[in-house]
Structures are given as structure tokens and as C-alpha cells.
Chains A and B, each alone.
Chain A
Amino acid sequence: GAGVSQSPSNKVTEKGKDVELRCDPISGHTALYWYRQRLGQGLEFLIYFQGNSAPDKSGLPSDRFSAERTGESVSTLTIQRTQQEDSAVYLCASSSARGAYEQYFGPGTRLTVT
């Protein structure tokens, strides 16, 4: 079946602009995660949605970052007033709440802030 999809695949924006990144999880997956990966670095957890529960926002680096999820489907990560240090690949993953909780990743959105 279809995997996790993300759009856009690449985004170049000017410092100070707002950006929205989109994630479509695997159908039926109740959990959705956002990560950030700077060049040559590890995965940095940002936010986690599980069903109708309140999201775990503990990884969001500042109040410029926010995310929403509509039910158990699409999620949008919004970065306001982008800064150059926001340049990274933003990865979305989803998992089923049953079984092993293994996460499946989308291809990512490469964000470049100029």
C-alpha cells in the first residue's frame, strides 16, 4: 500500500517568512511523528500525535513551531518567522497503535532558509 508522503519535497524560503510542511500518514496509522534532521546530525524529535489524545509537543524548539493534525489523517507543521538555523530535513513518520509501534518514515521535506 501507499507509504507516508510529504510535501513539498524541497522548500526554499527567505528568513522571516512562514512555511507549512505537510504529511500524509499511512492509512489506518493512528500515531504520527515529526522529526528534524540537520545536515550530518541525528534525528531530533519535534512532536507526536496519537489518535485523539493531546499531542506531545515536548520536542518543539520554540514557539515559532506548531503542528496540527486533522483526526487520524493529514498533519501540517508550521514554522513562523523562519531563521537560518531552521534549515534541515523535516521527516514525518507514522505507526499503528497496535503491534510493535514500528515507525515508517516519509521521504522528508528539505527546508532551506536563505
Chain B
Amino acid sequence: QKEVEQNSGPLSVPEGAIASLNCTYSDRGSQSFFWYRQYSGKSPELIMFIYSNGDKEDGRFTAQLNKASQYVSLLIRDSQPSDSATYLCAPHSGNTPLVFGKGTRLSVIA
């Protein structure tokens, strides 16, 4: 059974702060890791993905991966109220569907 654990939140951060969203996974065979954002009442949208250990930056977003610890995180710098959403972590291995965590609800307070 592949498991993905995320703190359900809500995680509240003030506008302009760094939001840190964390995810652990059970499948050591996971090769790539996806972060999706889901606004209330909307479908998930892909933010970014990471393959390799270390950091990957895309604008205000940084994904961090540590395969030895089976841990992946998403940092959002200069958080904005428009970042308020649920963030879903999804590891992937082989030719299989993504396994989604239940998501962390982020609330950015103006």
C-alpha cells in the first residue's frame, strides 16, 4: 500500500512570509514528485515537479526532495492571499497513476 502523508492544516501564514508544506511517502521506488494546488471548488492544477534530490526553484516556489528520508516539501516565498488553497503532494513510480496525499490547506492572512 503506497501511502502519502501530509499535515491537513490549516497552515496559517501572514502575507509575505514563507509557507512550508511537507510530505512524506512510503514507496521507496518513487521516482518523481508532483505538487498540485487546488482552490476550493476547482480541480487540481500542477505547480511543479522534482526528480532529483535537492532543491528546484520556479518563481516563488521551491520544491525540496530528500529520497533517503522519503520526504518532499514545497516552499512558497512571499506568500500572497491568492496562494490560499489546498496543496497536494503526489509521488510517482513507474507507469502507474499518481498517488495523492490528502493535502494541506494553506491560509495566507493579509
Partners in one complex: yes
Chain A interface (Cβ within 8 Å of chain B)?
33, 35, 41-43, 45, 48, 50, 56, 89, 91, 97, 100-108
Q: Are A102 and B34 in contact (CB under 8 A)?
A: yes
Whether, in the assembled complex, B88 has its beta carbon less than 8 Å from a beta carbon of chain A, the answer is yes
Q: Are B32 and A104 in contact (CB under 8 A)?
A: no
- How many positions in chain B have a CB within 8 Å of any CB in the partner chain? 20
Q: Are B43 and A50 in contact (CB under 8 A)?
A: no
Number of A-B contacts (CB under 8 A): 47
Q: Are A45 and B97 in contact (CB under 8 A)?
A: yes
Query: Which residues on B sit within 8 Å (CB–CB) of A107?
Result: 42-43
Query: Which residues on B sit within 8 Å (CB–CB) of A104?
Result: 46
Whether, in the assembled complex, B25 has its beta carbon less than 8 Å from a beta carbon of chain A, the answer is no
The residue of chain A having its C-beta at the shortest distance from the C-beta of B86 within the complex is A42
Q: Are A101 and B92 in contact (CB under 8 A)?
A: yes
Within 8 A of A (CB), among B56-101: 88, 92, 95-101
What's the nearest-Cβ distance from chain B to residue A88, in Å? 13
Whether, in the assembled complex, B55 has its beta carbon less than 8 Å from a beta carbon of chain A, the answer is no
Q: Are B95 and A100 in contact (CB under 8 A)?
A: no
Q: When chains A and B are docked, how far (Å) is the Cα of A104 from the Cα of B98?
A: 11
Q: Are A97 and B95 in contact (CB under 8 A)?
A: yes
Query: Which residues on A sit within 8 Å (CB–CB) of B88?
Result: 42-43
Q: When chains A and B are docked, how far (Å) is the Cα of A50 from the Cα of B96?
A: 9
Q: Are B45 and A105 in contact (CB under 8 A)?
A: yes
Q: When chains A and B are docked, how far (Å) is the Cα of A49 from the Cα of B96?
A: 10
What's the nearest-Cβ distance from chain A to residue B38, in Å? 9
Of A33, A97, A105, the residue contacting B43 (CB under 8 A) is A105
The residue of chain A having its C-beta at the shortest distance from the C-beta of B46 within the complex is A102
